Amino acid sequence: MKTVIEDMRTGLREEGIQQAGEIIKRGGLVAFPTETVYGLGANALDPEASRKIYAAKGRPSDNPLIVHIAEWEALDFIVQDIPEAARKLGEAFWPGPLTMIFARRETVPLATTGGLETVAVRMPDHPVALGLIRAGGGYIAAPSANTSGRPSPTRAQHVLEDMDGVIDMIIDGGEVGIGLESTIVDFTEDVPVILRPGYINQEMIQRVIGEVEMDQALIGEDSSVRPKAPGMKYRHYAPKAQLYIVEGNQEDVRRKIDELAEREERQGRKAGVIVTEESVPFYRHGILKVIGSRGDELSISRHLFGILREFDEMDVQVIYSEAFHTPHMGQAIMNRLLKAAGHQIIKT
């Protein structure tokens, strides 16, 4: 299959969106930008189309997809009821990087929900994504557009690396804004539960709906607690190299990482180092990649997955990263980084 690339880096092109919408309606696959990461879209109401997503990604079939909608009116058709708290939260953050889980109506095939009686729904905040959903019939199932187990794509180029020749179209909307997947909140239990941290953090949710819990599997070190979002149990984003996160006060961390990188170099091994702009001048060893600035959390979240991909291409044997416990997105950033590192932490 030839994968067509539609360039919409400078904005939505109506003709291209209509073509992409036709592909979706025919049961094909279109990758598209959102504000979080690139999605791999198909008609959510068509079980055959959903199955194609699993095949293209090599994704286990018990890992459910998120259904993307473009207007509130679309919600009633796919969910049984909308709890008051969910309505409030959606009003505060939709369109935006928030996914909510509801009881499913039979209109949504089990092939889309990974066999679950619940369905995850999100209204993305991106003109191209919203245009595509409308042109494609209103319901687009879309996981992140990476091969299963690779970092989520934050640029069209990343999608091309994983999906060239496998899907019908990639819409290039340039680099995404957030770079980490949406926050997922489950509304099918008595108390709403955060299943995956993202840009919308716990405090922001509490301010709108009051009580909200974190999934135990996100908090504890105890890996026997099974996360409720099936996708959170897999070891995602694992780079080829061993990745270690170095924690402690900033000065100690810089000294430790530089020391570790020097030791690797002396043994003739290539070491990658993930650093912030602020600490560049303190390193003399290793291959430095600047992730962003501590003063601009989005610069860090936006570049994390891309840097992991870059290091994969350079075949470094080991990667050391500073920790990023930043005030707003620290929990989401560290959740992804810890997974990528298989929870290998060096404390100074």
**Please, what is the minimum distance in Å from the beta carbon of residue 134 to Mg ion?**
24
Rounded-to-5 percentages of helix, strand, coil across the chain: 35, 20, 45
Kind plus residue range of the DSSP H or E element containing 83: none
C-alpha 331, offset from chain centre: 14
Cα–Cα distance for residue pair 41/69, rounded to 1 Å: 12
**Please, what is the minimum distance in Å from the beta carbon of residue 119 to Mg ion?**
17
Position 42 contacts ligand TXA (CB under 6 A)? no
Position 154 contacts ligand TXA (CB under 6 A)? no
Tokens of 186: 């489950």
**Please, what is the minimum distance in Å from the beta carbon of residue 54 to ligand TXA?**
10
Position 24 contacts ligand TXA (CB under 6 A)? no
With CB under 6 A, what is the number of residues at the site for ligand TXA? 29
Tokens of 176: 């995404």
Which of 34, 63, 99, 144 is in the footprint of Mg ion by CB under 5 A?
144
Specify the stretch interacting with ligand TXA by CB under 6 A; choose among 113-121, 268-276, 278-286, 324-332.
113-121
Cα–Cα distance for residue pair 230/336, rounded to 1 Å: 15
Q: Which residues pair with 99 in a beta bridge?
A: 122, 184
With CB under 5 A, what is the number of residues at the site for Mg ion? 1
Specify the stretch interacting with ligand TXA by CB under 6 A; choose among 142-150, 265-273, 312-320, 330-338.
142-150
**Please, what is the minimum distance in Å from the beta carbon of residue 337 to Mg ion?**
15
Which of 99, 276, 321, 335 is in the footprint of ligand TXA by CB under 6 A?
99
Cα–Cα distance for residue pair 48/68, rounded to 1 Å: 17
**Please, what is the minimum distance in Å from the beta carbon of residue 218 to Mg ion?**
16
Position 167 contacts ligand TXA (CB under 6 A)? no
Closest residue to Mg ion, based on beta-carbon distance: 144
Which of 126, 228, 289, 309 is in the footprint of ligand TXA by CB under 6 A?
228
> On the CB side of 128, how many CA atoms lie within 13 Å of its CA?
29
Which of 120, 176, 307, 340 is in the footprint of ligand TXA by CB under 6 A?
120
Q: Is 264 helix (H, G, I), strand (E, B) or coil?
A: helix
Amino acid identity, residue 197?
Answer: P
- The b-or-e profile of 98-110 (16+ CB within 10 A means b, else e) is bbbbbebeeebbe
**Please, what is the minimum distance in Å from the beta carbon of residue 86 to ligand TXA?**
14
Position 99 contacts Mg ion (CB under 5 A)? no
Nearest to 64 by CA among 113, 115, 104, 99: 113
Query: How big is the chain by its Cα radius of gyration, in Å?
Result: 20
Specify the stretch interacting with Mg ion by CB under 5 A; choose among 23-31, 137-145, 263-271, 289-297.
137-145
Position 192 contacts ligand TXA (CB under 6 A)? no
Residues 6+ apart with CB under 8 A from 189: none
Please identify, using beta-carbon distances, which residue of 143 and 151 lies nearer to ligand TXA: 143
Cα–Cα distance for residue pair 66/112, rounded to 1 Å: 8
Kind plus residue range of the DSSP H or E element containing 309: helix 297-313
Position 232 contacts ligand TXA (CB under 6 A)? yes
Closest residue to ligand TXA, based on beta-carbon distance: 231
Cα–Cα distance for residue pair 69/270, rounded to 1 Å: 45
Mask of contacts with ligand TXA, 55-94, x by CB under 6 A?
Answer: --------xxxx----------------------------
**Interacting residues toward Mg ion by CB under 5 A:** 144
**Interacting residues toward ligand TXA by CB under 6 A:** 34, 36-37, 39, 63-66, 99, 101, 113, 116, 118-120, 122, 124, 142-144, 181-182, 184, 195, 228-232
